[in-house]
């Protein structure tokens, strides 16, 4: 589903990433952790097709990132929900389908399904400023999955949410992942949530002047869905300790 083969990238005068290679199959969830500025968001932007000029190979469902984005094979949940302020929740969620001229009847059915999946159907007539932070995140999730992408990219989407809202969203996401063939990629600075949500966790690290590289891959073999009780499981704590050793 997702293939990165010796991917490297640099901004002018500054190397960012080097020799990134991995695969993420349908139904899998992988995560990236590392210090701020290490290149986690840059990596997502490369996968999404937003950033050209990398070396190596990136394939999303067998297509180049720009082509996969054109075909709506990539969903992206940003740290800020980025909802259009003058559109209702339903209008925001349906926007990607309208921009691609989806037939009205099919589009409405897809919007209904996405709203239900994100548990935001009850607020479909509200504007973004009328929503809580958690509801805005749910609306952004619904918008990102409305066209059933092959890969879902998440760039610290839970920042600023309280613990209760996070637990609800974690449950909703894991339920969806168990029922779909989407490949999921999560970036976060919260180590515990990445280990809890992912099947594999990749650690990015760099020396003072060089590019970031993958220095460790931690498999997380815990049964899904993973509730809050998993945070005390010995296997979870052991995985967290191993990842932490590579982050220091």
> 103 pLDDT band (50/70/90 cuts)?
low
| 115: its two tokens | 């709203």
Specify the CATH number of the domain 2-73+150-247: 3.40.50.300
Q: Summarize pLDDT for 30-60 with one digit per residue, the tens.
A: 999 999 889 999 999 999 998 888 999 999 9
For residue 222, pLDDT over 90 is answered with yes
H-helix or E-strand containing 8? Answer: strand 2-11
**Buried b / exposed e across 222-242, counting CB within 10 Å, b at 16+?**
eeebbeeebeeeeebeebbee
Residue 185 predicted with pLDDT over 90: yes
pTM of the model: 0.91
What are the boundaries of each domain within the chain? 2-73+150-247, 80-148
Structure tokens, 16: 């960012």
pLDDT at 170: 86
Whether the per-residue pLDDT at 189 is higher than 70: the answer is yes
Task: Provide CB contacts within 8 A for 1, sequence distance 6+.
Answer: 23, 24, 25, 26, 28, 60, 61, 150, 151, 181, 183
The pLDDT, as a whole number, for residue 52 is 86
Average of per-residue pLDDT across 207-236: 92
**pLDDT at 160 > cutoff 80:** no
Mean pLDDT, residues 5-12 taken together:
94
- Report the chain's mean pLDDT, rounded to a whole number: 90
C-alpha 163/C-alpha 133 separation (Å) is 12
The token pair at 26 is: 């349908």
Helices (H), 146-187: 163-179
Tell whether the model's pLDDT for residue 216 goes beyond 80: yes
Instruction: Answer for the pair 143, 114: CB distance below 8 angstroms, yes or no.
Output: yes
């Amino acid at each position: 589903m997702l293939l990165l083969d010796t991917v490297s990238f640099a901004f002018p005068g500054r190397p960012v990433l080097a020799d990134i290679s991995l695969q993420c199959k349908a139904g899998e969830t992988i995560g990236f952790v590392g210090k701020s500025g290490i290149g986690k968001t840059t990596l997502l932007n490369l996968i999404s097709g937003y950033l050209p000029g990398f070396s190596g190979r990136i394939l999303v469902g067998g297509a180049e990132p720009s082509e996969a984005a054109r075909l709506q094979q990539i969903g992206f949940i940003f740290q800020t929900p980025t909802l259009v302020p003058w559109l209702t929740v339903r209008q925001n969620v349906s926007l990607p389908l309208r921009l691609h001229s989806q037939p009205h009847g099919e589009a409405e059915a897809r919007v209904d399904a996405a709203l239900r999946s994100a548990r935001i159907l009850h607020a479909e007539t509200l504007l973004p400023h009328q929503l809580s932070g958690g509801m805005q995140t749910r609306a952004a999730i619904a918008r990102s999955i409305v066209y059933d992408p092959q890969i879902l990219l998440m760039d610290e989407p839970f920042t600023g949410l309280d613990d209760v809202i996070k637990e609800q969203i974690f449950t909703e996401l894991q339920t969806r992942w168990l029922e779909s063939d989407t490949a999921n990629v999560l970036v976060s600075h919260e180590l515990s949530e990445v280990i809890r949500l992912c099947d594999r966790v990749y650690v990015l690290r760099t020396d003072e002047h060089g590019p970031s590289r993958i220095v460790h891959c931690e498999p997380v073999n815990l049964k899904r869905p993973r509730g809050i009780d998993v945070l005390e499981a010995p296997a979870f704590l052991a995985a967290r300790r191993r990842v932490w050793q590579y982050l220091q």
